[in-house]
Amino acid sequence: MVRQPSEGTAENPAADGGFRWPVRQFSLDNGLRVVVCEDRTSPIAGVNLWYNVGSRHEPAGKHGFAHLFEHLMFQGSAQVGKTEHFSVLQEVGGSAINATTSADRTNYYQTVPSAALPTALWLEADRMGSLALTQENLDNQREVVKNERRQRYDNVPYGRWAEILLALAYPEGHPYHHSTIGSMAELDSAEQSDFTAFYESYYSPDNAVLTVVGDADEAQVRGLAEEYFGALPARPRPAAPSVAALPAGIEGPVHEVIEEPVPLPRFFFGFRATRFGRPGAAADEVLAAVLGRGRGARLFSELVTKRELAQAEGSYLASWQLAWHESMLSGMVTPRPGVDPAELLAAYFEVCEQAATLAPTGAELDRARSMLEADWARELSSVGSRADQLSRHAVLFGAADRVRDRLPELLSVTAEDVRAAAERIFTPNNRVTLEYRVSTASEGN
């Protein structure tokens, strides 16, 4: 039982694409799309609502409003008091209750005992139809969001790296130029009317997908969706401003240096990459795994083990999977004590650029495929994250069933596809480098 594993190959995905449950989808007259995935394993149901709105919709001067609005969605509605949202769910046994906002979308989710499915759908419908947008709620949640910003961005070393990288990688005015958390100053200028307009524009049934996964069937969910969401009217939305396609490469190289009182010097990188769901995107993801993810990745063995230039990390490259405009691969690397940062920087780019001529070996590709396949099984193993994937595919491709293509697409990426992706992505003019240098000053922020 020793030394057999690395010979294994990724198994051929079954005809169901590693997604072994039925998927049903229908629409209500008001345009709400509903997805149902029946799974009787446990008496629970995951409920997920994707609203097709994110920070990419924010106009100038209102950055961070989509995310602040997400907080307001938990502050009550016509039949739900200010602090009641969580308790209504908890008193029927619901948990895993939360929401997230990204550049692309806003998702709301909860998992409930299946007996409480009506309550979860009623609650989502009540806030979709009658949110309590009060000054008190706005003032309080603005403070919560400012503390979220402090906790995640401003009070931690390197906390602003992603925000700075986006601003360098996307031109001013592009929907992905700004971070989702937004700026303190712009949040301070937020008025109630901003949120009324935002709500009316985007929180409409025809701009959302409702997914239920678990101990429920199509007929039951259809009945409940009609009952709770059926009377909510569709509303017009402003036309999305047209955004010109970006060139295939960042017009770089860009190299920005920041001096802050960080504990160690560190580099962050951004490379323009393929939009999620477009041809080539799967190859970008496999490329990131082959080169940059895990203990067996090329960047790890070259920079950490062989040359001893870099600190060990779990990930040196990651795919952002942005879906509405050109996406990004980001990278990071930290020099070991005594290593010249410039030497590490050159070595990092060397390994990346070599991939344009050095296609992955069979073993390298097997490793990446096995990781991606197991990731997918883990992602689908809870009803909540499975519902999120179904909502995502319904919003982006119009059909939740497209979720079955996800794993086969990743597993069908060939060594040549990966090599070609590296050739496309790892050119000097397609990269942004953000270099943190250690300052000893105490006021860095």
Q: Using the rule CB under 8 A, which residue among 143, 191, 251, 416 binds other proteins?
A: 143
Written as one letter, the residue type at 392 is R
Q: Which CB atom, from 118 or from 249, has the smaller least distance to other proteins?
A: 118
Binders of other proteins in range 211-270 (CB under 8 A): 227-228, 231-233, 235, 261-264
Measured CA to CA, the distance from residue 315 to residue 304 in angstroms comes to 12
> Within the chain, how many helices (H) and strands (E) appear?
15, 11
Binders of other proteins in range 152-191 (CB under 8 A): 152, 154-157
- Which SS3 state, helix, strand or coil, does residue 198 take? helix
Say which DSSP state 314 is in. S
Closest separation in Å from C-beta 272 to other proteins: 27
**Does 274 sit near other proteins (CB under 8 A)?**
no
Q: Using the rule CB under 8 A, which residue among 31, 93, 280, 408 binds other proteins?
A: 93
Q: Using the rule CB under 8 A, which residue among 219, 247, 251, 305 binds other proteins?
A: 305
Closest separation in Å from C-beta 238 to other proteins: 15
Q: How far is CA 409 from CA 3, 274, 277, 285, 322, in A?
A: 30, 14, 10, 11, 17
Measured CA to CA, the distance from residue 88 to residue 97 in angstroms comes to 11
Which of these, 200, 194, 210, lies nearest to 51 by C-alpha position? 210
Q: Using the rule CB under 8 A, which residue among 102, 192, 311, 315 binds other proteins?
A: 311
Q: Which CB atom, from 143 or from 191, has the smaller least distance to other proteins?
A: 143
Q: Which CB atom, from 146 or from 431, has the smaller least distance to other proteins?
A: 146
**Does 1 sit near other proteins (CB under 8 A)?**
yes
- Which SS3 state, helix, strand or coil, does residue 336 take? coil
Binders of other proteins in range 391-430 (CB under 8 A): none
**Does 100 sit near other proteins (CB under 8 A)?**
no
Binders of other proteins in range 41-70 (CB under 8 A): 41-44
Task: Provide φ and ψ at 67, rounded to 5°.
Answer: -70, -40
Closest separation in Å from C-beta 228 to other proteins: 5
**Does 363 sit near other proteins (CB under 8 A)?**
yes
- Which SS3 state, helix, strand or coil, does residue 171 take? coil
Say which DSSP state 164 is in. H
Residues with Cβ within 8 Å of 275's Cβ and at least 6 positions away in sequence, in order, are 281, 322, 323, 324, 325, 326, 327
- Which SS3 state, helix, strand or coil, does residue 81 take? coil
Please work out the total of residues on this chain that contact other proteins, with binding judged by CB under 8 A.
Answer: 95
Please identify, among the stretches 48-56, 151-159, 272-280, 349-357, the one whose residues bind other proteins according to the rule CB under 8 A: 151-159
Q: Which CB atom, from 136 or from 251, has the smaller least distance to other proteins?
A: 136
